[in-house]
Amino acid sequence: MRRAILLLCVAALVSVSAACDSSSPSAGPTPDTIPSTLTTAPAAAGSAAPVTGPYAPVIDPSAFSSTVDNLFLPLRPGMRWEYRATTEEGVESTVVEVTHNVRTILGVPCVEVRDTVMLDGALKEDTLDWYAQHRDGTVWYFGEDTKEYEDGRVSSTEGSWTAGVDGALPGIVMPAQPQVGDRYRQEYYSGHAEDMAEVLSLGGSVVVPAGPYGGAVETRDTTPLEPQAVERKYYAPGVGAVLTVDVGAGGVRDELIRFTP
């Protein structure tokens, strides 16, 4: 599962979904558009990204924007987060940056976020994620282009998906007003990307190298593709993700060490 802020939206408080546009930093900004193919009929509140039953999120491109200013997941171009975790493999350092690129997916303009992971100084993973915010404040996730590296070469692109392509569908990464008990799909690409989240608590306190943070939202992230993979994530107001605890890996902490607004 990925920080999908990293990074990384709701069966009880969202209403509509969709979209994105951008380009790979390695190739420079090249516009890319995925046509809108999903229905645009209105959806009932709380039914936008259910974790049970048929999944067919309603997408109304006119209801979305690439401007993401959700209190718990702000994604303004230029924002940067640096994380560090000590794992069995070594020291993992992650940099998440919000780019100025916008990619259109399903007719929705999405801001592009780049997530780079280094393991003991060697490139481990390089990912582009695309997000958009619904007019109700909910942040939706429209896809990712991920590459894993070994010895300087791409070893896998598993987990990559784009909403509207090959049956993949967008999901929610942060509700507009999170409430305890909210459950939602964060992404859906059958057999490849099926992350889900549940809000566990509100108003918590978290201490990481970047500092102490109060008023945090705590979520539990899981996927049926890897039942043993369980993460607890903590989002601070005005900052976003400040801590990820990998429960499935014995409690490894991926902590925010520096934040540039």
Q: Check whether 121 has a pLDDT greater than 70.
A: yes
Tokens standing for residue 74: 């702000």
Q: Check whether 27 has a pLDDT greater than 90.
A: no
Q: What is the mean pLDDT of residues 206-211?
A: 98
Q: Check whether 18 has a pLDDT greater than 80.
A: no
- Terminus-to-terminus CA distance in the chain, angstroms? 25
Q: How far apart are CA 155 and CA 228, in angstroms?
A: 23
Averaged pLDDT of the chain: 86
**Looking at the whole model, is its pTM more than 0.85?**
no
Tell me the per-residue pLDDT of 88-103, one tens digit each, with 9 for 90 and over.
999 999 999 999 999 9
Domain boundaries along the sequence of the chain: 33-185
Q: Where does residue 76 rank: exposed (0-12), middle (13-18), buried (19+ CB within 10 A)? A: exposed
Tell me the per-residue pLDDT of 152-195, one tens digit each, with 9 for 90 and over.
999 999 999 999 999 999 999 999 999 999 999 999 999 999 99
Token pair 């958009």: residue? 132
Tell how strand 252-260 and strand 240-246 pair up. antiparallel
